[in-house]
């Protein structure tokens, strides 16, 4: 079965993931409700997202939905179960999805570093220009302004004969 995911959201009572998709018949939107059972405020987000995505009943529908998006939906559900408001949950998700350029990534543990890298990969994929994009230009040349005099380094002034 071939389907194209359009929107993915969450319902809090009873907990469920809702997917709006376009089926084999183009132009006709359909809705699939996938119940979330046995989820508590202590449940692991990544494991639950992987379980849902790999579930044989939902696998073909969730092919185009990223694991990161499912984790985000489970974050909202966990926040709801903890009693957080929607504004607090949005702020928390926004904090997790932004990269602080001043943060020293060398001081993070492996798990946090992997999260930051996945956010960076997602931002790269989102901002990447592909050949199919209407504003794609093949060979872009950019002149960078040079406000101050360039400093030369010793290694770049030596001749190539020394090697």
Predicted local confidence at residue 137, as pLDDT: 84
For the residues 27-55, what does the mean pLDDT come to?
87
For the residues 35-54, what does the mean pLDDT come to?
87
| Residues 49/69, Cβ–Cβ less than 8 Å | no
Q: How confident is the model at residue 34 (pLDDT cuts 50, 70, 90)?
A: very high
Is the pLDDT reported for residue 116 higher than 90?
no
| Residues 17/34, Cβ–Cβ less than 8 Å | yes
Tokens of 49: 């997202």
Phi-psi region of 112 (alpha: psi -120 to 50; beta: other; left: phi over 0): alpha
Number of neighbours of residue 118 by Cβ within 10 angstroms: 15
H or E stretch including 123?
Answer: helix 110-127
pLDDT tens by residue, 70-91: 988 998 999 898 898 889 888 8
pLDDT tens by residue, 128-150: 888 888 888 888 888 888 766 66
Q: What letter would DSSP give residue 76?
A: H
């Amino acid at each position: 079965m071939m389907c194209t995911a359009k929107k993915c959201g969450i319902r809090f009572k009873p907990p469920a993931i809702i997917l709006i998709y376009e089926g084999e018949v183009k132009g006709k939107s359909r809705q699939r409700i996938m119940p979330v059972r046995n989820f508590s405020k202590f449940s692991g987000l990544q494991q639950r997202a992987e379980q849902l995505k790999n579930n044989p009943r939902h696998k073909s529908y969730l092919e185009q939905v990223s694991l990161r998006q499912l984790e985000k939906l489970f974050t909202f559900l966990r926040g709801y179960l903890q009693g957080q408001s929607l504004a607090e949950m949005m702020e928390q998700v926004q904090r997790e999805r932004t990269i602080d350029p001043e943060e020293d990534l060398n001081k993070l543990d492996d798990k946090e570093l992997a999260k930051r890298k996945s956010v960076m990969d997602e931002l790269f994929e989102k901002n990447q220009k592909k050949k199919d994009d209407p504003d794609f230009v093949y060979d872009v040349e950019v002149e960078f302004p040079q406000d101050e005099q360039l400093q030369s380094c010793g290694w770049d002034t030596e001749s190539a004969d020394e090697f």
